[in-house]
Amino acid sequence: MNRLSWFNTVSLTLGFAFLYIPMVILIIFSFNESKLVTVWGGFSAKWYGELLQNESFLQAAWVTLKVAVLSSTLATVLGTMAAYVLVRGGRFLGRTLFSGMIYAPLVMPEVITGLSLLLLFIGIGLDRGVMTIVLAHTTFAMCYVSVVVSSRLITFDRSLEEAALDLGCSQAEAFRLVTLPIIAPAVISGWLLAFTLSLDDLVIASFTAGPSATTLPIKIFSAVRLGVSPEINALSTIMIGIVTVGVVTASLVTKRQMVRQRRDEQNAERS
Amino acid sequence: MTIPVFEPWNDPEAKPLIQFQNVTKRFGEFTAIDDLTLGIYEREFFALLGPSGCGKTTMMRMLAGFETPTDGKIYLSGQDIAPVPPNKRLVNMMFQSYALFPHLSIWDNIAFGLKRENKPKHDIEERVQEMLRLTRLEKFARRKPHQISGGQRQRVALARSLAKAPKLLLLDEPLGALDKKLRQDTQFELMDIQEKTGTTFVIVTHDQEEAMTVASRVAVMDNGKLVQVATPDRIYENPNSVYVADFIGDVNIIEGTAKPTGPDQYDITWKEGAEPLNVKSQNSFSDGQTCHLAIRPEKVTISADKPADADNAVQGRVLDIAYLGNISTYHVELPTGAVIKAQTANTRRIARRAFTWEDPVWLSWTATAGVLLAE
């Protein structure tokens, strides 16, 4: 192991401190006995217990999960299709315009996206609820998915698809049997990205949510306006935990796969 | 019993399996294939040879169905194939990158095309087994493509493209990724497999040695046109142009003017003050016409003394020697400044080599050794 120079050590410490001190404080205070958020009253896990009793939080969590799963799945399907056409479709009329337009929501202020969706839903008389949040999240998450998937498709060896066609596949079969299994990791990470985006979106959700459906971020935000309660700290800690476990698992799986592949390739070369 | 010679291209009765008829292919402004007409016969091993960008890969992709001709027609067994999509053609292709499906095992890769035909499971298993045996891959059936070596991958690609027993197999630079030794072994393997299966093979390559080794006929291409289509020995011995002579193997090109001296006999004036060369040629030339004498280095004899009865003999001195083990190539500079290459087999050990640098030597060749070409 190389020893870090003092300069690198300082940069590393500052960087990590900047990133993680707020979260560490939040986690510590979620185990606070006292009801006062800023005063340490001893260790306790009681807020976690109370959280499980809080019907409205659980309700919001369930809505959030439903919305996240539905919208990320829809966004993955649409985003993958868009990416496939844009990368593989050749030079059809308006291709540049389309590829520019699919990325526009990435830079569009969320307030505008939310507002325009709200106007649309009112215009077509769609009652706001789970359905409208799902549609709204699908709209803005699909461009993220299409960015992730198209960057994979660009490096995809086209002759693999041609080989599938050559061996008797129709275009659709070639996609299902060859392209999709190979780009699956990119599609999955696109799904995960869409899922997390939906999970923590506040702005768009607050425009498109109705009284019947409230997501967790909206719930937390409105609760915080009445004062930060230790319950919210506990809830946030759980969310941090879930995200951490997910990210670490995903990276471990990818890493192990890479190591195995490299070992196999070395073995093949030696034999 | 005489073995019938396989040369359907000389049989006016024979119908070609593939017929290109005035095929032109343009990509925007660029003409990849220029008004090309060609017949390829059943059971042939046909090689398309040319530098990169000459249009050989485009021809193959049109046969596979990935490109459509801008003009003209392509017939397979007498049927126009333009409206047939790639997945419905009785043509399979082996890709340059092999294009093995990385998520499937070797067995599943080979079975891929068969499964698309909805054949009974038992038939598929039997056919895959047969293919594995043919390409000596039985031991690797359960492995994934990244778990085998490059040479094995090449054989998987071949087995996969042969599994559906196509009428025509296209091979796009099939040996490009292999090292030289393995490539040579694989060339013979390919010929063997082609003979066993009786499939028509069309191979695209830029390696002239490979084309000469495997093919029954070679088409030399340049700029979207066929320059010459003939058997390997005719391409080598009787190139129809300086381009072909230069592209295939090593050659000395001597430019001069022709002067007929008898039936098929010419004197070639090639350098001021030098004795004219005595050449026999089937191609006819008029008096004073510019011509090129193409002569292979191995047909030039090198000797210390002037040979008594040579048709052509010139004196020079050894400029350079390329020692290749089995043969040596001598670069001999003539008094006129021209350099002529002569090749001899090293039948004796190198210590006993007769000539060395700066030695005065005589080069000689017969009147029929070279080919006289107009351009």
Please give the average per-residue pLDDT across A75-85, as a whole number.
Answer: 93
Choice between A31 and A229, residue whose per-residue pLDDT is larger = A31
Show residues of chain B in contact with A160, CB under 8 Å: 99, 101
Residue of A nearest to B160 (CA): A167
Q: How confident is the model at residue A195 (pLDDT cuts 50, 70, 90)?
A: confident
pLDDT tens per residue across span A116-167: 999 999 999 888 889 999 999 999 899 999 988 988 898 888 899 999 999 9
Q: Do B87 and A264 touch (CB under 8 A)?
A: no
The minimal CB distance from B87 to the residues A169, A182, A265 is found for: A169
Q: How many domains does chain B have?
A: 2
Please tell me the predicted confidence (pLDDT) of residue A268.
Answer: 64
Residues B207, B272: one domain? no
Give the nearest partner residue to A265 out of B88, B103, B146, using CB atoms. Answer: B146
Mean pLDDT, residues A78-91 taken together: 86
- CATH number, domain containing residue B187: 3.40.50.300
Across the range B214-242, mean pLDDT stands at: 92
Amino acid at B351: A
Same domain, B118 and B226: yes
Residue where a domain terminates, one of B230, B246, B262:
B246
Residues B278 and B300 in one domain: yes
Is residue B185 located within the same domain as residue B74?
A: yes
Distance from CA of B111 to the nearest CA of A (A): 10
pLDDT recorded at residue B153: 92
Instruction: Please report the pLDDT score of residue B181 as a whole number.
Output: 84
| Residue B2 placed within a domain | no
Task: Give counts: helices (H), strands (E), chain B.
Answer: 8, 20
pLDDT at position B8, please? 86
Tell me if A168 and B103 make a contact (CB, 8 A cut-off): no
Question: Which pLDDT value is given to residue B331?
Answer: 93
Q: Are strands B327-333 and B290-295 parallel, antiparallel or unpaired?
A: unpaired
How many alpha carbons lie under 13 Å from residue B202 in its C-beta half-sphere? 27
Cβ contact B149–A268 (<8 Å): yes
CB contact (8 A) between residue A163 and residue B93: yes
B92, B101, B102 member nearest A166 (Cβ): B92
Q: Which of A166, A177, A269 to mutate to test the interface with B (most CBs of B within 10 A)?
A: A166
Question: B232 and B326 share a domain?
Answer: no
Of B86, B102, B146, the CB nearest to A165: B86
Nearest CB to A168: which of B87, B103, B148?
B87
Among B213, B246, B279, residue at a domain's last position: B246
Asked whether residue B249 carries a pLDDT value surpassing 90, the answer given is no
What confidence score (pLDDT) does residue B64 get?
93
| Whether residue B269 is found in the same domain as residue B221 | no
Q: B177 pLDDT exceeds 80?
A: no
Is B99 part of a structural domain of the chain? yes
Give A148-152 contacts, CB < 8 A, sequence gap 24+. Answer: A148/A79, A148/A186, A148/A189, A148/A190, A148/A193, A149/A79, A149/A80, A149/A83, A149/A84, A149/A183, A149/A186, A149/A187, A149/A190, A150/A83, A150/A86, A150/A87, A151/A186, A152/A183, A152/A185, A152/A186
Q: Residue B89 falls within a domain, yes or no? A: yes
A178 vs B contacts (CB less than 8 Å): 101
Asked if residue B272 is part of any domain, the answer here is: yes
What CATH number is given to the structural domain containing B328? 2.40.50.100
The answer to whether residues B39 and B18 touch, using CB atoms and an 8 Å cutoff, is yes
B100 against A53, higher pLDDT: B100
Residue B311 distance to chain A (closest CA, Å): 56
β pairing state of B217-222 and B45-49: parallel
* Residue B102 shares a structural domain with residue B176: yes
Which residues constitute the domain of residue B193? 8-246
pLDDT reported for residue B355: 82
Q: Do both B196 and B133 map to the same domain?
A: yes
Please give the Cα distance from B59 to A165 (Å, whole number): 18
Spatial neighbors of B317 by CB under 8 A, at least 6 apart, are B332, B333, B358, B359, B360, B361
Nearest residue on chain B to A182, alpha-carbon basis? B103
pLDDT score for B180: 84
- What pLDDT band is residue B71 in, cutting at 50, 70 and 90? very high
Same domain, B231 and B291: no
pLDDT band at A243 (very low <50, low <70, confident <90, very high): confident
Q: Of B224, B246, B268, which residue is a domain's last?
A: B246
Report pLDDT digits (tens) over B235-246: 998 999 999 999
Judgement on whether residues B116 and B261 belong to the same structural domain of the protein: no
CA nearest to B92, candidates B175, B166, B28, B197: B166
Do B304 and B354 lie in one domain? The reply is yes
Task: Convert the pLDDT of each residue in B276-302 to its tens digit.
Answer: 888 888 888 888 889 999 999 999 999
Say if residue B224 is in the same domain as residue B270.
no
Residue B61 lies in a domain: yes
Give me the percent of chain B exceeding a pLDDT of 90. Answer: 50
Given an 8 Å threshold on Cβ–Cβ distance, is A182 in contact with B103? Answer: yes
Under an 8 A CB cutoff, do A167 and B101 touch? Answer: no
Residue B1 has pLDDT above 60, yes or no: no
